[in-house]
Structure 1
Amino acid sequence: MTERLNEGKVAIVTGAGGGIGRELAVALAQSGAKVLINDIGVSLQGAGGSATPAEETLGLIQQGGGEGAINTDSVSEWDGAQRIVASALDAFGRLDIVINNAGILRDAIFHKMSADDWLSVINVHLNGSFFVSRAAAEHFRAQQSGAFVHMTSTSGLIGNFGQANYSAAKLGIVALSKSIALDMQRYNVRSNCIAPFAWSRMTDSIPAETPEQKARVEKLQRMTPEKNAPLAVYLASDAAREVNGQVFAARHNELFLMSQSRPLRSVHSDVGWTPEHIAGHGMPALRGSFMGLDRSPDVFAWDPI
């Protein structure tokens, strides 16, 4: 990326110690932004903790001539989110962009999912996105500008096996983003979502045993994390000033505008409905428009080219 769309801006990127978050932070710095790198350095499941991943991201930014700072507070705590925003203000004196990217996975089939599995994922993804956005909102409102970019997932937009916690959180983020867009548009604050596709530690369990599987994995591995960065950099910039409340997906060299829930079909009864009338007439009329029990791989059934 050669254009510096975010020259002079200050951005927070949560979960920026690796993967997609690291690529977003580096790309934002290349676009001219000063970046607060937030990462607590835990495993994919949320265990451990180290500043090393954030330090590595900072090193990459500095190697490219950019400016950055590090924060290791947890997005899943209200006070932690306040400290994240305060760190950006202390380091750079302002705040223009928030990228809510931090996340963990605790996959389990629904009937085997524990309360801790549920709460841990909801706390990081959904509560974390709210806490950090809410901490930044007063600053955005006061300066009459700001941009939020939230990471959602097709696991929430479409569905997937064994991810009730993750899917619920990611679809909740879409509703949160739309609410922010509606409530804060009067202050010139925008909020959009990206469903990223990338080969990462979240996807490297896909089997690659047969020649066909190996060939497919080779294609999927081309969906490297940095493929998501241009869209995030654009949405964070003033070039996207007219883009608000939308949901996009980035998949290798493809960009998608995703649909949002709207009525598909309706039926009417002059005398109202009884359960029997619904069974005999209402539901048969609606059945042809039912949504299938699709998973994300069923909808995105072609490999990237």
Structure 2
Amino acid sequence: MSHRTSPVIPGFGLTLGYTISYLALIVLIPLGAMLIYSLQMTAEQWWSLISSRQVLFSLKLSFGTALFAALLNGVLGTVLAWVLVRYRFPGRRIIDAMVDMPFALPTAVAGIALTSLYAPNGLIGSLFPFKIAYTPLGITLALVFVTLPFVVRTLQPVLADIPKEIEEAATCLGARPLQVFRHVLLPSLLPAWVTGFALAFARGVGEYGSVVFIAGNIPLKTEILPLLIVSKLDQYDYKGATGIGVLMLAVSFVLLLLINLLQRRLQPQN
């Protein structure tokens, strides 16, 4: 006699249907409409668009600065998360709250503030013999600012779940600090670090508000892909704007797929 087992989550069919419907309305239908609209372009128009010097430069600039900013935040965010989790000091709660400031601050306001500070005549920019604003360095700086919380907030709970006793035991057994980090902490931190890196990278690729001011928007020098899309829309070139959007979507999907596959390989085996 067979017995039917009840599902762990009641109403699975209803919740699954709601999830799929919500995902379709918010994500799949808009992306599908963009793909369908881009099919109005001929193969020659597609090739002319994606092979143009302006688009290729903006593609390299957007993904290059986003990648570098995500890697830099991978280091800075790890150190910051470690300090906030492992140490207790005056002002810790204030610093912890300030980590989320890029989430609460409008990106346009952040861009204006960064530009005024790092412009050649700005409070900080005037101290350097080279330009920061209106260069790829300024774009990277803005992306570091807006994507830092993703790495910190992803690593904090993982670090909090690692008992200090494990590190102390490894130290008592003669392990050096670098060995403790490599063999004890890194296996647990690496999957979360890759997740934080992927979130920061994805946010950086599509960032517009905080970058548009400090970039200077100089064609073939500091023009990012989101700005190029807006420029196409201002010129009523909707097909060109949609084509660039599809190009960004395709490249981002491939990169994020590779990152997710890497994350799965890094997951500890049970």
TM over 0.5: no
Structure with the larger strand share: 1
TM-score w.r.t. structure 1 length? 0.21
Structure with the larger helix share: 2
* Structure showing greater relative contact order (alpha-carbon pairs closer than 8 Å, 6 or more residues apart): 2
Larger radius of gyration: 2
